[in-house]
Amino acid sequence: MEDNYRHKGLRKKLVEEIRAKGITGENVLQALEKVPRHVFMDNAFLGFAYQDKAFPIGSGQTISQPYTVAFQSQLLEITKGDKVLEIGTGSGYQTAVLLELGAKVYTIERQKALYDKTRQMLPAIGYDPKFFYGDGYKGLPAFAPFDKILVTAGAPFVPQPLLDQLKPGGRLVIPVGSGDVQVMTLFIKKHDLSLEKHEFGSFKFVPLLTEREWK
């Protein structure tokens, strides 16, 4: 993998752009500055890798916009050693950012081709999450509970298993909505197990597909 001074320079500029858009978490900005986003995209898209935009990654899916990755990461308030469940591995870009933040990451993807591709690629550039091929709606009961859970696709509703698999004190970040746009939503599980809900405006994600919509 080549990550030269030109890539690093473009990345620095991208991080400044994201900071100007309101991301304040220094640890999040530093993580974005470290992850070589161009490696997660096909060669044809190299020139686009350091624009603040989502891009196609094959199988009808997208690599999330860097601002969105930063926004979701910041809402999670990751601290070193957090056990994090990610729904929607996709290109693995968000996964790499979580790993740079010091999280132990369990990531689920339901598209076999993407799962296979990313499971090869991420470890080859030094990122080692635990990969799972399966249905994000169900979470990972065998590995629960988690400190943090992140959904990187638009969910028509909040899956109960994900709320159940959150530790007391834990945070779930999930874009909720079945139309073209979703509302970025944060759930905090209080120590008495009640849930606190916060909403953060509109974002655009590819849909979190239910099993009957799978092809």
Instruction: Return the amino acid letter for 175.
Output: P
CB proximity list for 118: less than 8 A, separation 6 or greater: 89, 90, 91, 92, 95, 109, 131
- Known active-site residue 73: no
Nearer to ligand SAH, 87 or 174 (CB): 87
| Rounded Cα distance, 59 and 165, in Å | 29
Which residue in the list 59, 64, 73, 178 is annotated as catalytic?
64
60: left (phi over 0), alpha (psi -120 to 50) or beta: left
Strands (E), 24-123: 55-58, 61-63, 83-87, 104-109
The least CB distance from residue 164 to ligand SAH, in Å, is: 17
In the bound state with ligand SAH, the residue whose beta carbon lies nearer, of 94 and 171, is 94
What's the min distance (Å) between Cβ of 117 and ligand SAH? Answer: 10
Structure-token pair, residue 102: 């010091």
Least separation in angstroms between residue 192's CB and ligand SAH is 30
Using an 8 Å Cβ cutoff, are 37 and 58 in contact? Answer: no
Binding site for ligand SAH (CB under 6 A): 61-64, 87-88, 90-91, 93-94, 108-111, 114, 135-137, 152-153, 206, 208-209
Least Å distance, CB 33 to ligand SAH, is 16
* 27 φ/ψ sector (left φ>0, alpha ψ -120 to 50, else beta): alpha
Coil, helix or strand for 129? Answer: coil
Measure the N-to-C terminal CA separation of the chain; round to a whole number of Å. 33
Residue 95 or 147 having the CB closest to ligand SAH: 95
H/E stretch holding 95 reads: helix 93-100
To the nearest whole angstrom, how small is the minimum distance from the Cβ of residue 10 to ligand SAH?
Answer: 18
Residues with catalytic function: 64
